[in-house]
Amino acid sequence: MTAVLIDGKAFAARVRAEVAGHVARLKADHGLTPGLAVVLVGEDPASQVYVGAKGKQTVEVGMASFEHKLPAETSEADLLALIRRLNDDPEVHGILVQLPLPSHLNSDLVINAIDPAKDVDGFHISNVGRLGTGQKSMVPCTPLGCLMMLRDHLGKLAGLNAVVVGRSNIVGKPMAQLLLGDSCTVTIAHSRTKDLAAVCRGADILVAAVGRPEMITGDYVKPGATVIDVGINRIQRDGKSKLVGDVDFASAVQVAGAITPVPGGVGPMTIACLLANTLTACCRANG
């Protein structure tokens, strides 16, 4: 048996179309255009690609995109001053500071300077606390995209065993909170977990977010499980550059019930959820 493929690319296109429909109605009925400001400090090539894609898709759904590209040596004071300006700008409903920041900048300080109501990444400490206590919050985009795909594929998640491999603030921890919110029994595993394969084999839902290429092989997967691969790793194989996930697709697809491919799985959902969060922030700001 081979697994069903969960098509994140097609799902993300549906989410973007829905967002675009809402944006058009906001414009027509209320004269409102949701606006997203993206701040990039420095020239990290991967970040430049992500920021370019975010700006392009923001415009495609009819929103306003404000890109702020700052030199790598930008001071913390200058970056904080920009964030204060964006916080006060009524045309900006969402603010995203692309991570990682250059090492001389304190990411926590910078993220926590963003108005929590405009924090479309859901990284501000107040949104993290609100998510953890079940209060209305901005939800981090990648885990939100994973949850949407899981609900779409499985329906109700209540009572399922979920194992999240990875404990990052961006993916692992908020993913665990979201699954707990849907009444899963949640385990957070990581690089120091003893007998990781056995822990993973207990999972009805297995979310791989470890950042290690193809580490989760078929023998980590319970037959019939739903596998969500958050990893995006560039590797060299047969003299060619290739994108692979944290899951060894070739072996996992033989065991899983459903699986997200890389590319074309979680990746496209992240930006679609960013646009959905920006729309939500605009609607909340305008009652």
Residues touching ligand GUN, count (CB under 6 A): 8
Chain positions 109 to 128 lying near ligand GUN, rule: CB under 6 A, are: 121
Binding of residue 99 to ligand GUN (CB under 6 A): yes
Residue 168 annotated as binding site: yes
* CA gap 85, 33 in Å, rounded: 19
Backbone torsion region of residue 264, taken as left when φ is above 0, otherwise alpha when ψ lies between -120 and 50, otherwise beta: left
Instruction: Figure out which of the listed residues 58, 74, 98, 280 binds ligand GUN, where binding follows CB under 6 A.
Output: 98
Give Cβ neighbours of residue 279 (< 8 Å, ≥ 6 apart): 19, 22, 23, 26, 34, 63
Instruction: Figure out which of the listed residues 170, 184, 210, 275 binds ligand GUN, where binding follows CB under 6 A.
Output: 170
Angle, helices 141-154 vs 172-181, to 10°: value is 40
**Least CB distance to ligand GUN at residue 158 (A):** 27
Chain positions 213 to 232 lying near ligand GUN, rule: CB under 6 A, are: none
**Catalytic positions:** 54, 98, 121
Based on CB atoms, which residue is closest to ligand GUN, 168 or 187? 168
Binding of residue 204 to ligand GUN (CB under 6 A): no
Based on CB atoms, which residue is closest to ligand GUN, 121 or 246? 121
CB 226, CB 153: distance < 8 Å: yes
**Least CB distance to ligand GUN at residue 42 (A):** 13
Based on CB atoms, which residue is closest to ligand GUN, 97 or 178? 97
Binding of residue 142 to ligand GUN (CB under 6 A): yes
**Least CB distance to ligand GUN at residue 4 (A):** 27
Instruction: Figure out which of the listed residues 96, 114, 207, 258 binds ligand GUN, where binding follows CB under 6 A.
Output: 96
Binding of residue 182 to ligand GUN (CB under 6 A): no
Residue 231 annotated as binding site: no
Binding of residue 64 to ligand GUN (CB under 6 A): no
Angle, helices 8-30 vs 266-285, to 10°: value is 20
CB 245, CB 232: distance < 8 Å: yes
**Least CB distance to ligand GUN at residue 6 (A):** 20
Closest CA to 190 of 168, 167, 213, 170: 167
* Dmax (CA) of the chain: 57
What is the torsional sign of CA 16, 127, 109, 100? negative
Based on CB atoms, which residue is closest to ligand GUN, 55 or 202? 55
Based on CB atoms, which residue is closest to ligand GUN, 74 or 142? 142
Give Cβ neighbours of residue 181 (< 8 Å, ≥ 6 apart): 134
What is the torsional sign of CA 132, 137, 141, 147? positive
Q: How many CB atoms lie within 10 A of CB 32?
A: 17
Instruction: Figure out which of the listed residues 141, 186, 228, 258 binds ligand GUN, where binding follows CB under 6 A.
Output: 141
**Least CB distance to ligand GUN at residue 141 (A):** 5
* CA gap 264, 133 in Å, rounded: 32
Q: Which residues would be at the binding site for ligand GUN (CB under 6 A)?
A: 96-99, 121, 141-142, 170
Q: Which residues contribute to the annotated binding site for NADP(+)?
A: 166-168, 232
